[in-house]
Chain A
Amino acid sequence: MNAAIKTSFFKKSRNRIKKSLGEKIFDTLNTLFMLILSFVTLYPFWYVLILSLNEGSDSAYGGIWFWPRKFTLDNYRYILANPQLQSAYLVTISRTILGTILTVLVTGFAAYAMSKKTLRFRKAFLTFFMIPMFIGGTLMSTYIVYAKLGLINNFLIYILPSSFSFYYMVVLRTFIYSLPPALEESAKIDGAGYLRIFFQIIIPLCLPAIATIALFSGVAQWLDFSTNLMFVYDDKLMTVQYLLYQVVRANKMTVLNEQAMAATGALQTINTQTITSQSIQMTVLMVATLPILLVYPFLQKYFVKGLTLGAIKE
């Protein structure tokens, strides 16, 4: 109470002091700098968005800066009707959902067990989990293990190797420590087993921490590109990021070829003459980015919380 009064007094007094000319100039320049920085950060996305909404043949003349000149949704119609993109989207969404659930469960189970002081060999387990942070396999030694386990060209490679994370476990365990032990003990007396306690008490109480972990893991799943590049060669298991990589690298129509389009019958309604390889690239880029751009502003606080949660040392 006392402190609150103090700070409010302090704020008032600080405002009452007249700003010097130098300060005013600094404040203006600082605000201007922040505005420019925000613009520079956002403009690339805006630029790609307007080009994806403009007729490709018209964009080729250049001169489009802030607003589409010949607005069209044909690029999106063309891309979204493509079977390869639909399949890539399905794969990416599946791996994001399944991978996130698996990570939360495996990491959560481990964090719960490791939070128990009664667990024998707890220190040994902690060391066991920690050593891979310092030494690990190389790309090749990992490759042959995946090959031996039958994970090359297998959907499971997207979700199994990332199912346990030492870092997330430490974050979650720190959170479990902060819970009142009485809750769990009273449940135990009522005859609840560990599994029931985990799902009905630990998970609901840890929801803020779990939300953060789920978000980080979900974003990592959505953005992951190199797993697909290195270990999956089957087009049926292609992810959106890898598809974009192919479109950008080749900037050809080989991935999004017209034959596949004709099969869907989508070509009939679209004037393909206005679509260029460049407008295809812009549109795939947007399609790969939009899901994150749309959810991110609402979930930002969880991400930031996750970063500061991790800073807690046990």
Chain B
Amino acid sequence: MMKMSISSAKQIRKGQKTRQQTEYALYLFLLPAVVATLLFSYLPMFTNIMAFMDYDPTAGWMGLQSKFVGLENFRKIFNDPSFYTLVWRTLYYSIVIIVVTFPAKIIFALLLNEIRSQFFKRTVQTITYLPHFVSWVILASLIYIFLSTDSSGVINNFRSAVGLERIIFMKYEENFPIVLALSSLYKGLGWGSIIYLAAIAAVDSQMYEAAIIDGATRAQQAWYITLPSILPTVMITLVLEMGSLMGSSFDQVFNLQNSVIQVQTNTIATYTYTTGIVRQQYAISAAVGLFQGVVNCVLLLSTDFISKKLTSYGLI
């Protein structure tokens, strides 16, 4: 029965006419996705030329008849010392976050792997994945609640209980990177460890058996078997993180900021928002955004290249 249907289907597929019909119908299936990609991805790519204009939204179709000024906007931002501070700060925040969260995820996965009780392990996993499903608005307000100076601030309650004064922690920009890093850790520790747990699960159990027979302790097994086995995965995720150095999570930074430290803690993502949409300096915001986009693209392509060289496993 099955065989017959397959062979007859093959006969039908040989007919040129059916094939033609096939394709037309399939293009209709592709149509919504193509339209959405054109409108929401390619059109904004095209309107990037506003970064080379003295942009005026009222001039012509989408303001695209504004005067071309060449690289004038870029000259402006490159001559502004605060731009370099902004770029450096974006990089600095990303690096602090990676330094804190990246090893932590691996260590957490290794420790979780040593838990013998499956039930306990699964419960810990469920709990630690949870913050991944909470928005930055919520997380930031949780952080502000915990750091607040009034009676609901757990941290300050603790400080006053041990005889220290209550401090307005978020008033100081020096504290911002560590808040970013710790909040990223809270949100991503569990979720980020999944990929390593999957890699650990794929390690050949015969290696452990052999090691046990040779008298290896569990620490030795982790160090000499587990860690080297998951090294390719570690490399890939590290390379991927490097690719996003110039990006920062808008939601995270924006929600953790407050009016006192906003200017001193802006990253490129929040800067393009406050400059472009709030202060309506369209062209400057577009130029800074485009700079970031180009850097991102270069980073992504080069990390893909490195990843392919190292592990023969790329993004594209």
Q: Do A and B come from one complex?
A: yes
Q: Does B130 contact A (CB under 8 A)?
A: yes
Contacts of B29 in A (CB 8 A): 109-110, 112-113, 194, 198
Q: Please state if B141 and A136 are interface contacts (CB–CB under 8 Å).
A: no
Distance in angstroms between the alpha carbons of A303 and B232 in the assembled complex: 24
For A38, A118, A219, the residue with the greatest tally of chain B CB atoms inside 10 Å of its CB is: A38
Q: Please state if B42 and A303 are interface contacts (CB–CB under 8 Å).
A: no
B56–chain A nearest beta-carbon distance, Å: 11
Contacts of B27 in A (CB 8 A): 113
Q: Does B112 contact A (CB under 8 A)?
A: yes
Q: Please state if B43 and A145 are interface contacts (CB–CB under 8 Å).
A: yes
Contacts of A308 in B (CB 8 A): 194, 198
Q: Does A139 contact B (CB under 8 A)?
A: yes
Q: Please state if B26 and A138 are interface contacts (CB–CB under 8 Å).
A: no
Task: Name A9's closest neighbour in chain B (CB-CB).
Answer: B209
Distance in angstroms between the alpha carbons of A152 and B284 in the assembled complex: 21
Q: Please state if A300 and B5 are interface contacts (CB–CB under 8 Å).
A: no
Q: Please state if B114 and A136 are interface contacts (CB–CB under 8 Å).
A: no
Q: Please state if B297 and A311 are interface contacts (CB–CB under 8 Å).
A: no
Q: Which of A2-54 contact B (CB under 8 A)?
A: 7, 10, 13-14, 17, 20, 22-23, 26-27, 30-31, 33-34, 37-38, 41-42, 44-45, 47-48, 51
Q: Does A123 contact B (CB under 8 A)?
A: no
Q: Which of B144-179 contact A (CB under 8 A)?
A: 144-146, 150-152, 154, 157
Q: Which of A243-270 contact B (CB under 8 A)?
A: 244-245, 248
Map CB proximity to B onto A98-124 as digits: 1 under 8 Å, 0 otherwise: 000000011101101110101110000
Taking chain B's interface residues, is the majority helix, strand, or loop, or is none over half, making it mixed? helix
Distance in angstroms between the alpha carbons of A297 and B127 in the assembled complex: 9
Q: Does B78 contact A (CB under 8 A)?
A: no
A151–chain B nearest beta-carbon distance, Å: 9
Q: Does A186 contact B (CB under 8 A)?
A: yes
Q: A143 is contacted by which of B157, B276, B290 (Cβ under 8 Å)?
A: B276
Contacts of A210 in B (CB 8 A): none
The size of the chain B interface, using a CB distance under 8 A, is 100
Contacts of A223 in B (CB 8 A): 133-135
Distance in angstroms between the alpha carbons of A289 and B131 in the assembled complex: 11
Map CB proximity to B onto A287-302 as digits: 1 under 8 Å, 0 otherwise: 0110011001100100
With A10-B209, A30-B111, A136-B41 already in contact, the answer to whether A194 and B48 are too (CB < 8 A) is no
Q: Please state if B186 and A30 are interface contacts (CB–CB under 8 Å).
A: no
With A144-B50, A182-B6 already in contact, the answer to whether A109 and B33 are too (CB < 8 A) is yes
Map CB proximity to A onto B48-63 as digits: 1 under 8 Å, 0 otherwise: 1011000001000111
4 additional contacts (CB under 8 A) given A128-B37, A137-B45: A110-B32, A144-B282, A161-B36, A311-B195
21 A-B residue pairings within 8 Å (CB atoms):
A13-B212, A14-B212, A30-B111, A31-B120, A47-B145, A107-B33, A109-B29, A113-B26, A113-B30, A118-B26, A129-B37, A138-B293, A142-B40, A142-B47, A160-B40, A161-B40, A163-B32, A189-B12, A288-B135, A288-B138, A307-B191
